[in-house]
Amino acid sequence: MIRVLRVFWLTFWLTCPACQRGRMFRSLFVMNVRCPVCNVIFERDKGEVTGGMAINSVLMCLIAIVGAVLSITTDIPTAPLLLSIGTFMAIFGILFYRHARSLWIGVLYLTGSINEDV
């Protein structure tokens, strides 16, 4: 369990889970193909980017659900609430993009899809 938490902690902060030092992203939206320190390949297959997108989508859905619950259970006017939730979702989706992809790399690392010796 400690290993799982450590890997997710490292990947949340965009750090390679294998060497715990290399940065996963070289710029705001560009992920390194290989770790600059230990040289592991982060996403071996082209479709692995969808895992990060799924994490981001689930979190966005949860935010939308919170917005829907707020609109039902409170007296907040619907239009401003929808506008603010929509704006928050758009900004959150962009800002959390790197973290979602990195967290998925953590899942791949924990399941053995990423290893140091390849």
Where do contacts with Zn ion occur on this chain (CB under 5 A)? 16, 18-19, 22, 35, 37-38
| Closest alpha carbon to 104 in 35, 44, 55 | 55
Rounded to a whole number of angstroms, the minimum distance from the CB of residue 94 to Zn ion is: 26
Q: Is 39 helix (H, G, I), strand (E, B) or coil?
A: coil
Rounded distance between C-alpha atoms, residue 10 and residue 23, angstroms: 10
Question: 15 vs 56, which CB is nearer to Zn ion?
Answer: 15
Rounded CA separation 43/41 (Å): 6
Q: Which is nearer to Zn ion, 41 or 60 (CB)?
A: 41
Choose between 19 and 64: whose C-beta lies nearer to Zn ion. Answer: 19
Minimum distance, C-beta of residue 13 to Zn ion, in the bound complex (Å): 13
> What is the closest distance, in whole angstroms, from the C-beta atom of residue 40 to Zn ion in the complex?
5
Q: In the bound complex, what is the minimum distance in angstroms from residue 18's beta carbon to Zn ion?
A: 5
Among residues 38 and 62, whose Cβ is nearest to Zn ion?
38
Both structure tokens of 16: 């390679």
Q: How far apart are CA 15 and CA 7, in angstroms?
A: 9
